[in-house]
């Protein structure tokens, strides 16, 4: 056997890097919930203090290494909403806040108030979805709530403030000429004269280039803002063509001041024509970042004329009524520009995301942000994890039992495969859900397919009388092409999903791609390296394997079964699809249907678990109810929960049949009745309905369209790959067989009365 130095180095490098990336997750998960919270608060305080000052590259590296050793929660694999809960936001959008010209456009078009509100809600929901996807939040839930609200659930508790800022940002970009000292000084003096005790004591002079903006301490911001609002409303204080604007909030390491600018009320140019924006490091000021933007030709021409007419004047770049920076116009600016404002990397990227999604149709108001518990109960999670582990143990046990020493080597590859997949999830900051855990176990289990191909090839070589060494080499070399073909076609599907998909589709595609790559690496590189090492040490003197079928003379007439199998499958699929059409909306789970979102409180001295509510609702006919425990400041009382059940009409008809002469009960009545026993002696009176709204599907129409497109193009590209590799007829047969499996699965779900949900 050859001594493959580079291969050995690659394997050890992958193993070490993998362990480095999964160490924080393992260490963090071993801590108790109380210890985790204490450490999280401690780390956050230390990180905020560290960010207030600048440090060299070596100091930053040492600080990062220290955080890694302490199992920094920022490096931990994020658990999904179903496993650990996350952030629950409710935002409100009101069509009455539309700009007058846009409102007139809708009204002139004959739109009703309800239609306008619905359109605005849909538009804002799509923009938020795009921002959240670009923000790379994994497995978010974004739904319409009632007629003017949007519900957002983000897994985990990382970067909560950043997510809130990004989602609620209106992202209106304008450019205004800044008033010079000769113009701004009299205006500030007029404000001081009008409000002598409310303005001057709380502002301080400052110099910035050729400008002299006033400064306001962070603690005085609200006070001064209120004064400026009153000054704008008072006649004769601030001229009609001017407005006083604040700067962006100061960074933690900067002086704790806002700046005040007097700018022209009418924009020099607007950002309506913006086509793209992206963040990059500021070459002139390396610690900071800037945003490069591009306008369309029409907007660029107008911007060029406006900037050429105001050369050598200061121009404020205003985002959401805040002055980001106020550079001097040095030359004519057309389609390309830049926004510099001492941005941090994350801040610049978030601003670029918001600008690319477009400014919100109306301002977004945050109703509340809350911490919610997992959508799955502890018992469900425990059962799912245990069943996944048992399945993995059975696979490993079978490999050792059936293939003996070769099976042990296959299991070594599986262990390294699992480490590398988890490490990749940590590196890409992916979210792990319960279906993800099952998918992870399934990926690892399916990885032994490659080992089976290799070992069966080895068996054939041994049967022909070849040596163990030659059989091992032939097993890997001759099975490699089949393994690569099988995994390349899967990878093609994953790449297509990644290209066309969004949200959960893209997250699944990344997981699938990672699993495919590392599975091939484990089978063809790691396992072969272990065989080579063992052979070199003389540890494999014989290669025994069990067999179920006879080693010779096996003759099973598979082709003879083709016709009856095809007829049976066609009948099954036809009946299943007929049942699918007959069931209609009943085929779809809660993720695809309109439903009712409700916040309830249960008056009980004892703690009520989310599991007990799920059990009670399921027993009353509610299918797959989602129950999340509310926490944080927004949970006004104990035992408060957020519920999600199917549409009112469907819920009314579920469960017990309607009694003669009695009207169908409403959802809230049925929920009160179902949960009455949990309130003890108070019964239904102990169930308080805090809020109730109609909620849209978690899986939107566009997501379904994206999934269908992804499926179509995946089959097309697999066909394109297989045709030159084999023949067209074989490629078509493979794709048809794959599509047959999809139809068969859908038919089976319909005939068994199961529902299709997001998972």
Banded model confidence at residue 445, pLDDT cuts 50, 70, 90 = confident
Stretch 35-52: mean pLDDT: 80
First to last CA, the chain: 46
Closest by CA to 86, choosing from 690, 631, 638, 609, is: 631
Sorted by sequence, the CB contacts under 8 Å of residue 407 that are 6+ apart come out as 398, 399, 400, 401
- pLDDT above 80 (res 697): no
Least confident of 107-111, 339-343, 397-401: 339-343
Confidence (pLDDT) at 655: 43
Separation of CA 121 from chain center: 21
Per-residue pLDDT tens digits for 231-285: 999 988 999 899 999 998 887 767 888 999 999 999 988 888 888 888 888 777 7
Hey, which bits of 166-250 come out as E strands? Answer: 173-177, 203-205, 214-217, 242-247
Whether 303 and 295 have beta carbons less than 8 Å apart is answered as yes
Per-residue pLDDT tens digits for 498-549: 777 655 667 677 778 888 899 999 999 999 999 988 888 888 888 888 887 7
Stretch 153-162: mean pLDDT: 70
Stretch 42-46: mean pLDDT: 83
Q: Does the CA dihedral 518-522-524-526 come out positive or negative? A: positive
- pLDDT above 90 (res 370): no
Confidence (pLDDT) at 656: 43
Distance of alpha carbon 408 from alpha carbon 63, whole angstroms: 41
Closest by CA to 381, choosing from 438, 441, 440, 442, is: 438
Q: Which residue has the higher pLDDT, 673 or 383?
A: 673
Confidence (pLDDT) at 327: 85
Mean pLDDT of the chain: 83
- pLDDT above 80 (res 632): no
Confidence (pLDDT) at 141: 79
Residue 154: phi and psi, rounded to 5, are -115, 130
Q: At 312, list the tokens.
A: 């050598």
- Residues 288, 278, 491, CA angle at the centre, nearest 5°? 120
3-state class of 371 per DSSP? Answer: strand
- pLDDT above 50 (res 755): yes
Q: Which residue has the higher pLDDT, 165 or 455?
A: 455
DSSP 41-83: HHHHHHHHHHHTS---HHHHHHHHHHHHHTT-GGGSPEE-HHH
3-state class of 161 per DSSP? Answer: helix
pTM value?
0.67
Confidence (pLDDT) at 256: 85
Q: DSSP state, 397?
A: H
Whether 623 and 654 have beta carbons less than 8 Å apart is answered as yes
Strand partners, 602: 687
Task: Give residue for tokens 């309905």.
Answer: 689
Banded model confidence at residue 651, pLDDT cuts 50, 70, 90 = very low
Q: At 752, list the tokens.
A: 């068994």
- pLDDT above 80 (res 722): yes
Q: Which residue has the higher pLDDT, 158 or 44?
A: 44
Q: In Å, what is the CA distance from 2 to each residue of 454, 531, 587, 604, 655?
A: 19, 11, 57, 72, 68
Q: DSSP state, 343?
A: E
Distance of alpha carbon 716 from alpha carbon 700, whole angstroms: 25
- pLDDT above 50 (res 176): yes
Q: Which residue has the higher pLDDT, 645 or 377?
A: 645
Confidence (pLDDT) at 381: 67
- pLDDT above 90 (res 707): no
Q: Which residue has the higher pLDDT, 37 or 753?
A: 753
Confidence (pLDDT) at 661: 42
β-sheet with 322-325: strand ranges across: 203-205, 214-217, 257-264, 242-247, 322-325, 315-319, 173-177, 269-270
b/e for 642-674, b at 16 or more Cβ within 10 A?
A: bbbbbbbebbbeeeeeeeeeeeeeebeebbbeb
Give the other-Cβ count within 10 Å of 529's Cβ.
19
DSSP 389-444: HHHHHHHHHHHHHHHTHHHHHHHHHHHHHHHHHHHHHHHTTPEE-HHHHHHHHHHH
Confidence (pLDDT) at 36: 80
- pLDDT above 90 (res 408): yes
Sorted by sequence, the CB contacts under 8 Å of residue 43 that are 6+ apart come out as 67, 70, 72, 73
Confidence (pLDDT) at 52: 66
Distance of alpha carbon 236 from alpha carbon 217, whole angstroms: 27
Stretch 158-173: mean pLDDT: 78
Stretch 310-316: mean pLDDT: 90
Confidence (pLDDT) at 246: 93
Greatest distance between any 2 Cα atoms in the chain:
106
Task: Give residue for tokens 């070849």.
Answer: 466
Q: Does the CA dihedral 192-197-198-200 come out positive or negative? A: positive
Q: Which residue has the higher pLDDT, 187 or 606?
A: 187
3-state class of 337 per DSSP? Answer: strand
Least confident of 503-512, 612-621, 667-676, 730-739: 503-512
Stretch 458-480: mean pLDDT: 90
Least confident of 251-265, 343-357, 662-676: 662-676
Pairing of strands 242-247, 322-325: parallel
- pLDDT above 80 (res 138): no
Confidence (pLDDT) at 609: 85
Per-residue pLDDT tens digits for 537-584: 888 888 888 887 776 666 778 888 989 999 999 999 999 999 999 988
Confidence (pLDDT) at 566: 93
3-state class of 112 per DSSP? Answer: coil
Hey, which bits of 488-612 come out as E strands? Answer: 595-602
Per-residue pLDDT tens digits for 217-228: 999 999 999 999
Task: Give residue for tokens 């990336």.
Answer: 21
Least confident of 49-53, 100-104, 626-630: 49-53
Stretch 649-674: mean pLDDT: 59
Stretch 20-27: mean pLDDT: 91
Stretch 124-133: mean pLDDT: 84
Strand partners, 153: 88, 141
- pLDDT above 70 (res 630): yes
Banded model confidence at residue 378, pLDDT cuts 50, 70, 90 = low
Four-point Cα dihedral 18, 19, 22, 26, nearest 10: 160
| Residue 90 CB-density burial (10 A; 0-12 exposed, 13-18 middle, 19+ buried) | buried
Stretch 448-454: mean pLDDT: 90
Separation of CA 85 from chain center: 14
Closest by CA to 502, choosing from 170, 134, 31, is: 134
């Amino acid at each position: 056997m050859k001594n493959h130095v580079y291969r050995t180095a690659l394997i050890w490098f992958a193993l070490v890097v993998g362990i480095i990336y999964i160490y924080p997750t393992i260490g963090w998960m071993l801590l108790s919930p109380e210890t985790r919270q204490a450490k999280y608060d401690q780390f956050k305080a230390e990180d905020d203090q560290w960010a207030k000052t600048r440090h060299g590259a070596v100091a930053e590296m040492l600080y990062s290494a220290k955080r890694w050793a302490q199992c920094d929660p920022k490096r931990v694999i994020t658990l999904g909403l179903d496993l650990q809960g996350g952030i629950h936001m409710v935002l409100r959008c009101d069509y009455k806040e539309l700009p007058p010209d846009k409102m007139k456009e809708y009204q002139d078009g004959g739109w009703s108030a309800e239609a306008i509100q619905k359109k605005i809600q849909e538009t804002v929901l799509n923009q938020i979805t795009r921002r959240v996807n670009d923000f790379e939040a994994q497995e978010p839930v974004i739904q319409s709530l009632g007629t003017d609200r949007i519900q957002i659930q983000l897994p985990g508790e990382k970067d909560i403030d950043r997510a809130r800022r990004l989602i609620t940002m209106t992202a209106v970009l304008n450019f205004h000429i800044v008033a010079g000292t000769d113009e701004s000084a009299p205006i500030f003096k007029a404000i001081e004269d009008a409000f002598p005790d409310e303005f001057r004591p709380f502002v301080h002079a400052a110099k910035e280039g050729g400008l002299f903006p006033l400064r306001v301490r962070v603690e005085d911001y609200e006070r001064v803002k209120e004064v400026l609002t009153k000054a704008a409303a008072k006649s004769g204080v601030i001229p009609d063509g001017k407005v006083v604007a604040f700067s962006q909030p100061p960074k933690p390491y900067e002086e704790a001041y806002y700046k005040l600018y007097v700018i022209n009320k009418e924009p020099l140019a607007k950002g309506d024509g913006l086509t793209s924006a992206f963040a990059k490091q500021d070459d002139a000021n390396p610690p900071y970042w800037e945003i490069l933007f591009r306008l369309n030709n029409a907007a660029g021409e107008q911007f060029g004329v406006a900037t050429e007419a105001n050369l050598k004047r200061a121009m404020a770049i205003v985002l959401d009524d805040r002055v980001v920076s106020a550079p001097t116009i040095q030359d004519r600016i057309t389609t390309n520009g830049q926004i510099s404002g001492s941005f941090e990397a994350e801040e610049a990227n978030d601003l670029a995301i918001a600008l690319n999604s477009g400014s919100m149709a109306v301002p977004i108001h945050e109703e509340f942000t809350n911490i919610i518990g997992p959508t799955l109960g502890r018992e469900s999670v425990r059962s799912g994890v245990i069943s996944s582990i048992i399945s993995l143990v059975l696979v490993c046990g079978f490999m050792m039992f059936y293939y003996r020493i070769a099976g042990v080597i296959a299991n070594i590859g599986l262990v390294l495969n699992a480490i590398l997949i988890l490490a990749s999830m940590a590196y890409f900051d992916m979210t792990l859900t319960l279906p993800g855990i099952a998918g992870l176990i399934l990926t690892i289990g399916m990885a032994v397919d490659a080992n089976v191909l290799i070992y069966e090839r080895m068996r054939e070589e041994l049967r022909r009388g070849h040596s163990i060494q030659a059989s091992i080499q032939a097993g890997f070399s001759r099975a490699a092409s089949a393994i690569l073909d099988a995994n390349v076609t899967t990878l093609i599907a994953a790449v297509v999903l990644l290209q066309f998909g969004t949200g959960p589709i893209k997250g699944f595609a990344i997981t699938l791609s990672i699993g495919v790559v590392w599975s091939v690496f484990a089978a063809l590189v790691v396992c072969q390296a272990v065989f080579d090492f063992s052979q070199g040490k003389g540890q494999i003197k014989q290669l025994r394997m069990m067999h179920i079928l006879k080693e010779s003379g096996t003759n099973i007439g598979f082709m003879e079964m083709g016709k009856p199998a095809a007829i049976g499958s066609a009948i099954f699929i036809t009946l299943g699809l007929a049942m699918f059409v007959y069931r209609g909306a009943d085929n779809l789970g809660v993720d695809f249907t309109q439903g009712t979102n409700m916040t309830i409180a249960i008056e009980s001295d004892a703690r009520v678990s989310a599991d007990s509510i799920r059990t009670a609702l399921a027993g009353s006919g509610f299918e797959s109810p989602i129950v999340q425990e509310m926490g944080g400041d927004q949970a006004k009382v104990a035992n408060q929960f957020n519920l999600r059940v199917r549409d009112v009409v469907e819920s009314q008809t579920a469960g017990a049949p309607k009694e003669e002469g009695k009207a169908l009960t409403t959802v809230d009545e049925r929920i009160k009745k179902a949960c009455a026993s949990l309130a003890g002696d108070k019964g239904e009176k102990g169930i308080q309905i805090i809020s109730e709204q109609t909620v849209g599907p978690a899986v939107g129409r566009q997501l379904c369209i994206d999934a269908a497109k992804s499926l179509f193009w995946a089959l097309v590209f697999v066909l394109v790959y297989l045709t030159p590799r084999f023949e067209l007829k074989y490629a078509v047969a493979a794709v048809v067989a794959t599509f047959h499996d999809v139809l068969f699965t859908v038919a089976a779900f319909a005939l068994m009365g199961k529902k299709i949900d997001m998972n």
